[in-house]
Protein backbone atom coordinates (compact mmCIF):
# COMPACT_ATOMS: atom_id res chain seq x y z
CA UNK A 1 0.00 0.00 0.00
CA UNK A 2 0.96 3.59 -0.52
CA UNK A 3 0.24 7.03 0.88
CA UNK A 4 -0.33 10.06 -1.35
CA UNK A 5 1.32 13.22 -0.02
CA UNK A 6 0.26 16.47 -1.68
CA UNK A 7 2.45 19.58 -1.48
CA UNK A 8 5.34 17.18 -0.87
CA UNK A 9 7.98 19.46 -2.40
CA UNK A 10 7.15 22.30 -0.01
CA UNK A 11 8.55 22.96 3.44
CA UNK A 12 6.46 20.76 5.75
CA UNK A 13 5.50 18.21 3.09
CA UNK A 14 9.12 17.44 2.19
CA UNK A 15 10.14 17.13 5.84
CA UNK A 16 7.19 14.79 6.36
CA UNK A 17 8.11 12.58 3.39
CA UNK A 18 11.77 12.37 4.46
CA UNK A 19 10.77 11.57 8.04
CA UNK A 20 8.22 9.01 6.81
CA UNK A 21 10.91 6.96 5.09
CA UNK A 22 13.01 6.94 8.25
CA UNK A 23 10.24 5.11 10.14
CA UNK A 24 8.01 3.36 7.58
CA UNK A 25 8.38 0.88 4.74
CA UNK A 26 5.22 2.09 3.00
CA UNK A 27 5.65 3.74 -0.42
CA UNK A 28 4.90 7.40 -1.00
CA UNK A 29 3.47 9.14 -4.06
CA UNK A 30 4.40 12.81 -3.85
CA UNK A 31 2.09 15.12 -5.80
CA UNK A 32 3.12 18.75 -6.14
CA UNK A 33 2.37 21.50 -8.64
CA UNK A 34 5.87 22.95 -8.09
CA UNK A 35 4.78 26.53 -7.59
CA UNK A 36 7.40 29.06 -6.48
CA UNK A 37 7.28 27.36 -3.05
CA UNK A 38 7.82 23.81 -4.30
CA UNK A 39 11.37 22.59 -4.71
CA UNK A 40 12.29 19.09 -5.89
CA UNK A 41 15.74 19.54 -4.38
CA UNK A 42 14.08 19.04 -0.97
CA UNK A 43 13.40 15.42 -1.97
CA UNK A 44 16.65 14.77 -3.84
CA UNK A 45 17.90 12.30 -1.22
CA UNK A 46 15.08 10.00 -2.42
CA UNK A 47 16.19 10.07 -6.07
CA UNK A 48 16.37 6.52 -7.41
CA UNK A 49 14.33 5.04 -4.55
CA UNK A 50 11.83 2.47 -5.88
CA UNK A 51 9.54 3.39 -2.95
CA UNK A 52 9.12 7.08 -3.83
CA UNK A 53 7.17 8.31 -6.86
CA UNK A 54 7.09 12.03 -7.65
CA UNK A 55 4.33 13.44 -9.86
CA UNK A 56 4.06 17.08 -10.87
CA UNK A 57 0.42 18.13 -10.86
CA UNK A 58 -2.48 19.98 -9.30
CA UNK A 59 -4.60 18.66 -6.41
CA UNK A 60 -7.55 20.08 -8.36
CA UNK A 61 -6.90 17.84 -11.38
CA UNK A 62 -9.46 15.11 -10.76
CA UNK A 63 -8.38 12.89 -13.67
CA UNK A 64 -4.79 12.90 -12.51
CA UNK A 65 -5.59 12.37 -8.82
CA UNK A 66 -8.11 9.59 -9.56
CA UNK A 67 -5.62 7.74 -11.72
CA UNK A 68 -2.90 8.03 -9.06
CA UNK A 69 -5.22 6.78 -6.32
CA UNK A 70 -6.09 3.70 -8.39
CA UNK A 71 -2.65 3.03 -9.84
CA UNK A 72 -0.91 3.05 -6.46
CA UNK A 73 -3.81 1.63 -4.39
CA UNK A 74 -3.50 4.59 -2.06
CA UNK A 75 -4.61 3.91 1.52
CA UNK A 76 -4.24 7.48 2.82
CA UNK A 77 -3.97 11.03 1.50
CA UNK A 78 -2.03 13.62 3.49
CA UNK A 79 -2.94 17.03 2.10
CA UNK A 80 -0.25 19.68 2.61
CA UNK A 81 -0.76 21.38 -0.77
CA UNK A 82 -1.67 25.02 -0.31
CA UNK A 83 -0.70 28.60 -0.86
CA UNK A 84 0.79 29.27 2.55
CA UNK A 85 2.12 32.83 2.91
CA UNK A 86 -0.11 35.41 4.62
CA UNK A 87 1.67 38.42 3.08
CA UNK A 88 1.25 37.07 -0.44
CA UNK A 89 -2.45 36.44 0.26
CA UNK A 90 -2.78 40.12 1.18
CA UNK A 91 -1.22 41.23 -2.12
CA UNK A 92 -3.22 38.76 -4.26
CA UNK A 93 -5.58 36.10 -2.95
CA UNK A 94 -6.73 34.37 -6.17
CA UNK A 95 -4.38 31.38 -5.93
CA UNK A 96 -5.33 30.95 -2.27
CA UNK A 97 -8.98 30.60 -3.20
CA UNK A 98 -8.18 28.30 -6.11
CA UNK A 99 -5.82 25.88 -4.39
CA UNK A 100 -6.84 26.05 -0.75
CA UNK A 101 -10.60 26.03 -1.33
CA UNK A 102 -11.42 24.79 -4.83
CA UNK A 103 -8.37 22.50 -4.92
CA UNK A 104 -9.29 20.91 -1.59
CA UNK A 105 -12.87 20.48 -2.79
CA UNK A 106 -11.69 18.64 -5.92
CA UNK A 107 -9.29 16.51 -3.90
CA UNK A 108 -12.11 15.56 -1.53
CA UNK A 109 -14.30 14.59 -4.48
CA UNK A 110 -11.54 12.49 -6.07
CA UNK A 111 -10.96 10.80 -2.71
CA UNK A 112 -14.66 10.19 -2.16
CA UNK A 113 -15.18 8.59 -5.54
CA UNK A 114 -12.12 6.30 -5.07
CA UNK A 115 -13.08 5.44 -1.49
CA UNK A 116 -16.67 4.60 -2.45
CA UNK A 117 -15.42 1.90 -4.80
CA UNK A 118 -13.00 0.26 -2.36
CA UNK A 119 -13.59 -3.18 -0.83
CA UNK A 120 -14.92 -3.22 2.74
CA UNK A 121 -11.56 -3.64 4.53
CA UNK A 122 -9.70 -1.14 2.39
CA UNK A 123 -12.59 1.26 2.80
CA UNK A 124 -12.36 0.99 6.57
CA UNK A 125 -8.62 1.67 6.61
CA UNK A 126 -8.65 4.65 4.23
CA UNK A 127 -7.84 8.12 5.66
CA UNK A 128 -7.94 11.67 4.29
CA UNK A 129 -5.68 13.74 6.56
CA UNK A 130 -5.92 17.48 6.00
CA UNK A 131 -3.24 19.88 7.25
CA UNK A 132 -4.45 23.21 8.55
CA UNK A 133 -3.37 26.04 10.78
CA UNK A 134 -3.90 27.64 14.18
CA UNK A 135 -4.60 30.86 12.25
CA UNK A 136 -8.19 29.73 11.56
CA UNK A 137 -9.06 30.44 15.23
CA UNK A 138 -8.13 34.09 14.70
CA UNK A 139 -6.25 36.49 16.92
CA UNK A 140 -6.19 35.93 20.69
CA UNK A 141 -5.55 38.50 23.40
CA UNK A 142 -2.60 38.02 25.71
CA UNK A 143 -4.91 36.90 28.53
CA UNK A 144 -7.02 34.50 26.39
CA UNK A 145 -6.63 30.75 26.96
CA UNK A 146 -5.10 28.72 24.11
CA UNK A 147 -7.40 27.78 21.21
CA UNK A 148 -8.82 24.29 21.49
CA UNK A 149 -10.49 22.13 18.88
CA UNK A 150 -14.02 23.23 19.71
CA UNK A 151 -13.33 26.98 19.55
CA UNK A 152 -15.11 28.92 16.80
CA UNK A 153 -13.28 29.84 13.62
CA UNK A 154 -12.51 33.57 13.22
CA UNK A 155 -10.00 33.87 10.37
CA UNK A 156 -8.69 37.37 9.61
CA UNK A 157 -6.43 37.11 6.56
CA UNK A 158 -7.25 35.87 3.05
CA UNK A 159 -4.87 32.98 3.80
CA UNK A 160 -6.52 31.94 7.06
CA UNK A 161 -10.01 32.42 5.59
CA UNK A 162 -9.10 30.06 2.73
CA UNK A 163 -7.72 27.49 5.18
CA UNK A 164 -10.83 27.81 7.35
CA UNK A 165 -13.02 27.23 4.28
CA UNK A 166 -11.06 24.10 3.39
CA UNK A 167 -11.41 22.78 6.95
CA UNK A 168 -15.17 23.26 6.74
CA UNK A 169 -15.30 21.31 3.48
CA UNK A 170 -13.30 18.48 5.04
CA UNK A 171 -15.67 18.41 8.02
CA UNK A 172 -18.73 18.42 5.73
CA UNK A 173 -17.37 15.51 3.64
CA UNK A 174 -17.17 13.51 6.86
CA UNK A 175 -20.58 14.50 8.19
CA UNK A 176 -22.36 14.10 4.88
CA UNK A 177 -20.53 11.32 3.05
CA UNK A 178 -18.69 9.64 5.99
CA UNK A 179 -15.38 10.07 4.18
CA UNK A 180 -12.87 9.10 6.92
CA UNK A 181 -11.13 12.42 7.48
CA UNK A 182 -8.73 13.81 10.07
CA UNK A 183 -7.77 17.49 10.42
CA UNK A 184 -4.57 18.78 11.99
CA UNK A 185 -4.34 22.45 13.03
CA UNK A 186 -0.75 23.37 13.65
CA UNK A 187 1.18 26.31 15.09
CA UNK A 188 3.91 28.12 13.11
CA UNK A 189 6.48 25.60 11.90
CA UNK A 190 10.20 26.19 11.48
CA UNK A 191 13.13 24.00 10.45
CA UNK A 192 15.07 22.82 7.37
CA UNK A 193 13.82 23.56 3.83
CA UNK A 194 11.57 26.50 4.77
CA UNK A 195 11.30 29.01 1.94
CA UNK A 196 12.96 32.32 2.92
CA UNK A 197 9.78 34.39 2.65
CA UNK A 198 8.78 33.31 6.19
CA UNK A 199 10.18 35.08 9.26
CA UNK A 200 12.90 32.69 10.45
CA UNK A 201 14.61 31.70 7.16
CA UNK A 202 14.20 35.26 5.83
CA UNK A 203 16.06 36.59 8.87
CA UNK A 204 18.80 33.94 8.62
CA UNK A 205 19.34 34.81 4.96
CA UNK A 206 19.29 38.58 5.55
CA UNK A 207 21.53 38.33 8.62
CA UNK A 208 24.21 36.48 6.67
CA UNK A 209 23.95 38.96 3.80
CA UNK A 210 24.27 41.98 6.12
CA UNK A 211 20.74 43.10 5.19
CA UNK A 212 18.00 44.48 7.52
CA UNK A 213 16.03 41.99 9.66
CA UNK A 214 12.51 43.36 9.05
CA UNK A 215 10.20 43.32 12.07
CA UNK A 216 6.61 44.31 11.29
CA UNK A 217 5.12 46.99 13.58
CA UNK A 218 6.43 46.80 17.14
CA UNK A 219 7.42 43.11 17.03
CA UNK A 220 5.15 42.25 19.97
CA UNK A 221 2.93 39.82 18.05
CA UNK A 222 3.05 36.33 19.54
CA UNK A 223 3.27 33.02 17.70
CA UNK A 224 3.69 29.48 19.03
CA UNK A 225 6.64 27.81 17.27
CA UNK A 226 6.77 24.10 16.41
CA UNK A 227 9.86 22.35 15.07
CA UNK A 228 8.81 20.80 11.75
CA UNK A 229 9.99 17.29 12.71
CA UNK A 230 7.78 17.38 15.80
CA UNK A 231 4.92 18.19 13.43
CA UNK A 232 5.83 15.20 11.19
CA UNK A 233 5.78 12.91 14.22
CA UNK A 234 2.38 14.26 15.26
CA UNK A 235 0.93 13.70 11.77
CA UNK A 236 2.23 10.11 11.64
CA UNK A 237 0.69 9.40 15.02
CA UNK A 238 -2.65 10.97 14.05
CA UNK A 239 -2.69 8.97 10.82
CA UNK A 240 -2.09 5.81 12.83
CA UNK A 241 -4.33 6.34 15.84
CA UNK A 242 -6.48 9.43 15.27
CA UNK A 243 -10.24 9.11 15.59
CA UNK A 244 -12.05 9.55 12.29
CA UNK A 245 -13.78 12.91 11.89
CA UNK A 246 -11.71 14.54 14.64
CA UNK A 247 -9.51 17.60 14.65
CA UNK A 248 -6.16 17.66 16.49
CA UNK A 249 -4.31 20.84 17.45
CA UNK A 250 -0.50 20.69 17.40
CA UNK A 251 1.75 23.22 19.11
CA UNK A 252 5.22 23.51 20.47
CA UNK A 253 4.52 25.16 23.85
CA UNK A 254 6.86 27.88 22.61
CA UNK A 255 5.04 31.20 22.57
CA UNK A 256 7.38 34.03 21.65
CA UNK A 257 7.06 37.57 20.41
CA UNK A 258 8.51 38.13 16.94
CA UNK A 259 11.18 40.32 18.50
CA UNK A 260 12.16 37.51 20.90
CA UNK A 261 12.37 35.09 17.97
CA UNK A 262 14.69 37.34 15.98
CA UNK A 263 16.82 38.23 19.02
CA UNK A 264 17.26 34.53 19.88
CA UNK A 265 18.18 33.87 16.26
CA UNK A 266 20.78 36.65 16.35
CA UNK A 267 22.31 35.25 19.56
CA UNK A 268 22.67 31.79 17.95
CA UNK A 269 24.21 33.29 14.80
CA UNK A 270 26.58 35.44 16.90
CA UNK A 271 27.85 32.20 18.44
CA UNK A 272 27.89 29.94 15.37
CA UNK A 273 28.91 32.46 12.70
CA UNK A 274 30.38 35.54 14.43
CA UNK A 275 30.62 38.67 12.30
CA UNK A 276 34.15 39.64 11.33
CA UNK A 277 33.66 43.17 12.77
CA UNK A 278 32.82 41.71 16.22
CA UNK A 279 29.32 43.26 16.20
CA UNK A 280 26.06 41.45 16.86
CA UNK A 281 23.51 40.54 14.17
CA UNK A 282 21.01 42.32 16.45
CA UNK A 283 22.26 45.59 14.99
CA UNK A 284 20.53 44.60 11.73
CA UNK A 285 17.05 44.49 13.34
CA UNK A 286 14.84 47.07 11.61
CA UNK A 287 11.22 47.93 12.40
CA UNK A 288 9.15 48.22 9.23
CA UNK A 289 5.53 48.95 8.29
CA UNK A 290 3.09 46.58 9.97
CA UNK A 291 1.15 43.86 8.14
CA UNK A 292 -2.50 44.93 7.52
CA UNK A 293 -4.82 43.07 9.91
CA UNK A 294 -1.80 41.61 11.71
CA UNK A 295 -3.06 39.02 14.22
CA UNK A 296 -1.79 39.86 17.71
CA UNK A 297 -1.38 36.36 19.05
CA UNK A 298 -1.87 32.71 18.15
CA UNK A 299 -1.92 30.26 21.03
CA UNK A 300 -2.83 26.64 20.61
CA UNK A 301 -3.90 23.99 23.08
CA UNK A 302 -2.41 20.65 22.01
CA UNK A 303 -3.52 18.78 25.13
CA UNK A 304 -5.99 16.55 23.22
CA UNK A 305 -3.18 15.18 21.06
CA UNK A 306 -0.90 14.82 24.09
CA UNK A 307 -3.56 13.12 26.19
CA UNK A 308 -5.23 10.88 23.59
CA UNK A 309 -2.30 9.91 21.38
CA UNK A 310 0.68 10.40 23.70
CA UNK A 311 2.51 12.84 21.41
CA UNK A 312 4.95 15.39 22.87
CA UNK A 313 7.21 17.88 21.10
CA UNK A 314 10.85 16.80 21.36
CA UNK A 315 12.40 20.21 20.74
CA UNK A 316 12.37 23.37 22.82
CA UNK A 317 12.50 26.58 20.81
CA UNK A 318 16.22 26.99 21.60
CA UNK A 319 17.20 23.43 20.55
CA UNK A 320 15.02 23.50 17.43
CA UNK A 321 16.23 26.92 16.37
CA UNK A 322 19.87 25.92 16.83
CA UNK A 323 19.31 22.86 14.60
CA UNK A 324 17.59 25.08 12.05
CA UNK A 325 20.39 27.67 11.96
CA UNK A 326 22.99 24.89 11.62
CA UNK A 327 21.02 23.39 8.73
CA UNK A 328 20.92 26.72 6.87
CA UNK A 329 24.63 27.32 7.51
CA UNK A 330 25.42 23.87 6.11
CA UNK A 331 23.06 24.25 3.14
CA UNK A 332 24.03 27.58 1.64
CA UNK A 333 23.75 26.03 -1.84
CA UNK A 334 20.07 25.17 -1.25
CA UNK A 335 19.42 28.77 -0.24
CA UNK A 336 21.33 29.99 -3.30
CA UNK A 337 19.07 27.94 -5.57
CA UNK A 338 15.75 29.17 -4.15
CA UNK A 339 16.43 32.91 -4.16
CA UNK A 340 15.75 33.15 -7.88
CA UNK A 341 14.13 35.89 -9.97
CA UNK A 342 10.64 35.26 -8.61
CA UNK A 343 11.99 35.55 -5.07
CA UNK A 344 13.75 38.81 -5.86
CA UNK A 345 10.51 40.20 -7.33
CA UNK A 346 8.66 39.29 -4.13
CA UNK A 347 11.29 40.90 -1.89
CA UNK A 348 11.13 44.12 -3.95
CA UNK A 349 7.34 44.20 -3.65
CA UNK A 350 7.15 43.36 0.07
CA UNK A 351 10.17 45.28 1.42
CA UNK A 352 10.40 48.36 -0.85
* E-strand stretches of the chain: 2-6, 27-32, 52-56, 74-79, 127-133, 181-186, 188-190, 213-216, 222-227, 247-250, 255-257, 285-288
Binding segment for ligand NAD (CB under 6 A), chosen from 9-17, 200-208, 214-222, 316-324, is 9-17
Residue 58 is a binding residue for ligand NAD (CB under 6 A): yes
Binding segment for ligand TYD (CB under 6 A), chosen from 166-174, 214-222, 236-244, 322-330, is 214-222
Q: Beta-carbon neighbour count of residue 275 at 10 Å?
A: 15
Give me the 70-109 binding string for ligand TYD, x by CB under 6 A, dash otherwise: ----------------x-----------------------
Pick the closer one to ligand NAD by CB: 35 or 299: 35
Question: Which residues, 6+ apart, have CB-to-CB distance to 120 below 8 Å?
Answer: none
Pick the closer one to ligand NAD by CB: 178 or 216: 216
The distance of closest approach from Cβ of residue 122 to ligand NAD in the complex, given in angstroms and rounded to an integer, is: 25
Q: Are 56 and 10 a contacting pair, CB within 8 Å?
A: no
Residues in the chain, total: 352
Pick the closer one to ligand TYD by CB: 174 or 298: 298
Q: Does the active-site annotation cover 290?
A: no
Among 32, 109, 134, 315, the one annotated catalytic? 134
Residue 158 is a binding residue for ligand NAD (CB under 6 A): no
The 10 Å CB-count burial string (b at 16+, else e) for 77-114 is bbbbbbbbbbbbbbeebeebbebbbbbbbbbbbbbbeb
Q: Does the active-site annotation cover 134?
A: yes
**What does DSSP say about strands 188-190 and 222-227: parallel, antiparallel, or unpaired?**
parallel
Q: Does the active-site annotation cover 330?
A: no
Contacting positions for ligand NAD (CB under 6 A)? 6-7, 9-13, 31-35, 37-38, 58-60, 80-82, 84, 99, 103, 131, 133, 163, 186, 188-189, 195
Amino acid sequence: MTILVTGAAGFIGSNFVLDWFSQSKEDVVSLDLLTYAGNLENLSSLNGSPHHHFVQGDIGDRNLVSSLLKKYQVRAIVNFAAESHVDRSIHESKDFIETNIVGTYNLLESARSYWNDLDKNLKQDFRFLHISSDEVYGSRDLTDPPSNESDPYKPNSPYSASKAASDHLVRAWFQTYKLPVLTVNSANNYGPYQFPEKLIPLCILNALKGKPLPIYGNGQQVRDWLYVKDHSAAISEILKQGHIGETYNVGGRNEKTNLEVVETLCAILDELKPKSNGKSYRDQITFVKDRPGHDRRYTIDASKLERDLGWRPQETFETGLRKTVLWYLENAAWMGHVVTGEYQDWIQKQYP
